[in-house]
Amino acid sequence: MDTLLLKGKPVAEHIRQELTERIQGLKADGITPNLAAIIVGGDPASKVYVKNKARAFEKMDCDSRTYHLDKNASENEVLDLIHELNQNMEVHGILVQLPLPRHLDSKKILHTVSPQKDVDGFHPENLGLLLEGNPKFIPCTPHGILEILKYYNIPVSGRHAVIVGRSNIVGKPMFALLAQKFEMGNATVTICHTGTKDLDMHTKQADIIIAAAGSPKMIRGDMVKEGVDIIDVGINRIENDSEKGYALVGDVDTDSVMGIARSVTPVPGGVGPMTITMLLVNTVIAAENMKEFAVISH
């Protein structure tokens, strides 16, 4: 079987094209979608993400500002900044880059972001709306995965999706979305994690695998059935002798699934380009909602 590589770039470009019109509409009313990103400390991967976000916003004629706080910043410093950004009418979206240093209470910090500006969709109010089937902001990576499935016409309804990994960022919201009775859902969903006894038994039954465990090359060809569609969310740095000093590999051993899977997302170049695009989408939604609110309250 020829295995199709599900590249993220054409999907991202397609969505950005649609978004351009909405951004122009906002600009005509004097509104430029604006994201505030907070990064605490100097985790190299986080710095790269935040820099890429800033570049993507600039390319789309949107504003973004990154607040770099020291790795020893106190919880109050972070909370004060979030309160200030919540009040700032020129800021539409707020993102707190994860992971945060261990001395900070991530939950308390994420709960402080205004649900109206929570473009990551991590606030419990937004997670509740997602679970209810009425989302305001869909978390960016799961949303990007749905867009990849849609773009490449991968059927979801009635199929068995196995998610590997139960993170709040990917696994749990992905479960809520794929199980939901809507166009890109209505699947039977299994969620596997470190407590799962026989992972192979589950992955071998999957029609769709979402690999989001953060464990390099853990899903191999001998663990999947012929014709499976695989979404690889992992971005793991493996040290090597190259100039960069590392290579990026996914949670899937891509070479070993070639010829068995019907499709697989490459790493890099699969899910990665989608996450920032969906952040743009959510920031535009936040700006549109604020505009509507301003009209209603006048």
Interacting residues with ligand GUN (CB under 6 A): 95-98, 120, 140-141, 169, 275
- Which residue type is seen at 160? H
| DSSP code at position 282 | H
Buried b vs exposed e over 88-110: b needs ≥16 C-beta within 10 Å?
eeebbbbbbbbebeeebeeeebb
Q: How many Å apart are CA 163 and CA 166, to the nearest integer?
A: 8
Nearer to ligand GUN, 62 or 137 (CB): 137
**Cβ(1)–Cβ(226) under 8 Å?**
yes
Nearest to 84 by CA among 62, 99, 69: 69
Nearer to ligand GUN, 46 or 190 (CB): 46
Q: How far is the CB of 197 from ligand GUN (least distance, A)?
A: 28
Nearest to 84 by CA among 103, 65, 97, 99: 65
- Our CA dihedral for 41, 45, 47, 51, rounded to 10 degrees, sits at -160
| DSSP code at position 120 | T
**Cβ(242)–Cβ(249) under 8 Å?**
no
**Cβ(127)–Cβ(121) under 8 Å?**
yes
Nearer to ligand GUN, 147 or 207 (CB): 147
Nearer to ligand GUN, 184 or 276 (CB): 276
How far are the Cα atoms of 76, 281, 284 from residue 19, in angstroms, in the given order? 36, 7, 8
Q: How far is the CB of 247 from ligand GUN (least distance, A)?
A: 19
Nearer to ligand GUN, 193 or 225 (CB): 193
Nearer to ligand GUN, 35 or 208 (CB): 35
With tokens 């309160």, the residue in question is: 83
Catalytic residue list: 53, 97, 120
Q: How far is the CB of 98 from ligand GUN (least distance, A)?
A: 4
Q: How far is the CB of 123 from ligand GUN (least distance, A)?
A: 12
Q: How far is the CB of 103 from ligand GUN (least distance, A)?
A: 18
Q: How far is the CB of 177 from ligand GUN (least distance, A)?
A: 15
> Nearest residue by C-beta to ligand GUN?
98
